[in-house]
Amino acid sequence: MARWEPGARDRLVVAAVDLFVEQGYDATTVAQIAERAGVTKSTFFRHFPDKRELLVAGQETLSRLLAEGIADAPADAKPLEAVAAGLARASDAMGPMNRELGPRLKAAVAASAELQERDALKSVGMAAAMTAALLERGVPGAAAALAGELGVLAFKRGYAEWSERGRGDDALAPYTVAALEELREASASLG
CA 143 to chain centre: 23
The tens digit of pLDDT for each residue in 97-141 reads: 889 888 898 899 999 998 899 889 889 999 999 999 999 999 999
Give residues with Cβ within 8 angstroms of 139, minimum separation 6: 79, 82, 147
Given a contact cutoff of 8 angstroms between Cβ atoms, the answer to whether 93 and 65 are in contact is yes
The tens digit of pLDDT for each residue in 41-76 reads: 999 999 999 998 887 777 888 999 999 999 999 999
24 with 84, same domain: the answer is: no
Give residues with Cβ within 8 angstroms of 88, minimum separation 6: 69, 173, 176, 177
Residue 2 lies in a domain: no
13 with 97, same domain: the answer is: no
85 with 179, same domain: the answer is: yes
Neighbours of 21 (CB within 10 A): 19
The tens digit of pLDDT for each residue in 1-54 reads: 444 556 899 899 999 999 999 999 999 999 999 999 999 999 999 999 999 888
69 with 138, same domain: the answer is: yes
Given a contact cutoff of 8 angstroms between Cβ atoms, the answer to whether 12 and 33 are in contact is yes
CATH of residue 30's domain is 1.10.10.60
How many domains in the chain?
2
142 with 160, same domain: the answer is: yes
| CA dist., res. 53 & res. 170, Å (int) | 29
CB neighbour burial string for 104-113, b if at least 16 within 10 angstroms, e if fewer? bbbebbeebe
CB neighbour burial string for 46-62, b if at least 16 within 10 angstroms, e if fewer? ebbeebeebbbbbbeeb
Residue 168 lies in a domain: yes
CATH of residue 111's domain is 1.10.357.10
Give the range of the structural domain holding residue 41, as residue numbers without chain letter. 8-54
| CA dist., res. 115 & res. 53, Å (int) | 9
Model-level pTM greater than 0.85? yes
Residue 144 pLDDT class (50, 70, 90 cuts) = very high
Three-point CA angle 156, 157, 162, nearest 5° = 100
177 with 129, same domain: the answer is: yes
Given a contact cutoff of 8 angstroms between Cβ atoms, the answer to whether 96 and 113 are in contact is no
161 with 69, same domain: the answer is: yes
3-state secondary structure of 24: coil
Q: What is the DSSP letter of 52?
A: G
Residue 91 lies in a domain: yes
Residue closest to 111 by CA, chosen among 3, 21, 19, 38: 21
68 with 159, same domain: the answer is: yes
